[in-house]
Amino acid sequence: MERTVRIAALAVLLAGCATRGPAAGSPVHGESAANAPLVEQIAAGGFAIPEDLPPAQAAPVDPGEPRPLVPGDSIELLVHGSPDLSLAFTVPDGGSVSVPPLGPVPVAGRTPFELESALASGLREAGILLEPKVAVLVKSYAPRRVYVLDGVRRPGDYALPEGRPLRLTQVIALAGGFLETARRDRVTLFRARADGTVGREAFDAGAILAGSAPDPAVFPEDTLVVAAQDTLEERIFVAGQVKHPGAYAFRLSEGVTVLRAIVLAGGFDKYADADNVVVVRAGGAPVRVDLKAALAGDPAKDIRLQPGDVVIVPESFF
């Protein structure tokens, strides 16, 4: 009964977004505090953000995959029985931390478990400890973002509280709710995997709101694209590490390449990985694009986009 009431409350919230003006602090571009008023509105509407979200249903996007550490995360390293080797730090922009007596150790891009294994191996191989037991504790997370494109009232990037996942319906609510032209039955979630590939899964938000389908978790750096009637066929979408992620219209007669799409989105952000840009196309496998090579004078690397393509710029950790 409680679940039905909460779903109904969220439906009212999303319907109300069609007439309510934008709330203060819409796309935050890295500042979670700016989202507080909208989060409070969700809670006031009876759909409070839960403190603990279980993993989403098993899906090709691998929702349970551990999240890698990024610059700005506050970490504590504990070495059992050797307090002099323990260390607390914030992951720097360069991604590596000097860990006495091992020297520089890459941290960004590794999950806590991977970092534990690397440190234990380093201490063992250096002959410092025979059987090192290392624990990596995340004391606080740097702001993580999700991206919501096209058929919502305020498309853009939004910070997640403490790096925690939210439900798909909660992220849509943060973006102001669906537009009147939105295709609620065509919400696509894109997620980068650890091996550099991109997973894709389609959801019917109408069925989710009706309680006939589960509400999946949306994780940091995920991208949601909501199809909109009469717009999808002449738009491309740019998400990830660019200055202005969003949907961009273009004329079919003119065409648009990946590099031009990046320019339309304001250029690369600080941590963009220009070597591994991914283009996701309906009905086809994701395509990796090396834009550094294109910028160096190899135009063949800059592929021509098709309507509905999604360009995802991953984060570089080194």
The domains of the chain are located at 1-51+143-230, 74-140, 234-318
| Contact predicate 192/198, CB 8 Å | yes
Q: What is the DSSP letter of 104?
A: E
Containing 233, the helix (H) or strand (E) segment is none
* Rounded CA Rg of the chain: 21
Beta bridge partners of 152: 178
Q: What is the DSSP letter of 198?
A: E
Closest CA to 172 of 144, 150, 199: 150
Measured distance between the N- and C-terminal CA atoms of the chain, rounded to whole angstroms:
49
| Selected residue with higher pLDDT from 116 and 317 | 116
Beta strands in the chain (DSSP E): 74-79, 87-90, 96-99, 103-106, 134-140, 144-150, 156-160, 166-167, 182-192, 198-203, 217-218, 223-228, 235-240, 246-249, 277-280, 287-289, 310-313
CA distance 50 to 228: 29
Query: What average pLDDT score do residues 279-285 get?
Result: 82
CA distance 243 to 247: 13
Residue 145 has pLDDT above 70, yes or no: yes
Residue-wise pLDDT for 113-143, tens only, equals 999 999 999 999 988 888 999 999 988 888 7
Residue-wise pLDDT for 19-34, tens only, equals 333 332 333 333 333 3
Closest CA to 174 of 156, 188, 186: 156
Q: Which pLDDT value is given to residue 65? A: 54
- pTM (2 d.p.): 0.52
Alpha carbon 230 to chain centroid distance?
A: 27
Residue 197 has pLDDT above 80, yes or no: no
Q: Band of the pLDDT at 66, cuts 50, 70, 90?
A: low
CA distance 37 to 201: 30
What is the homologous superfamily of the domain 234-318 according to CATH? Outer membrane lipoprotein wza domain like (3.10.560.10)
| Selected residue with higher pLDDT from 125 and 65 | 125
Closest CA to 248 of 258, 230, 261, 229: 261
Percent of the chain with pLDDT over 90: 31
Fold of 74-140: wza like fold (3.30.1950)
Q: What is the DSSP letter of 303?
A: P
* Domain 1-51+143-230 listed as CATH 3.10.560.10: yes
Hey, do 74-140 and 234-318 end up sharing a CATH topology, with the first three levels equal?
no
User: Average per-residue pLDDT in the chain?
Assistant: 76
Closest CA to 72 of 171, 142, 4: 142
Cβ within 8 Å of residue 114, ≥6 positions away: none
User: What is the four-CA torsion angle of 227, 230, 236, 242, rounded to 10 degrees?
Assistant: -70
Residue linked to tokens 């006939």: 212
3-state secondary structure of 262: helix
Q: In terms of C-beta density within 10 A (0-12 exposed, 13-18 middle, 19 or more buried), how is residue 244 classed?
A: middle
CA distance 217 to 168: 6
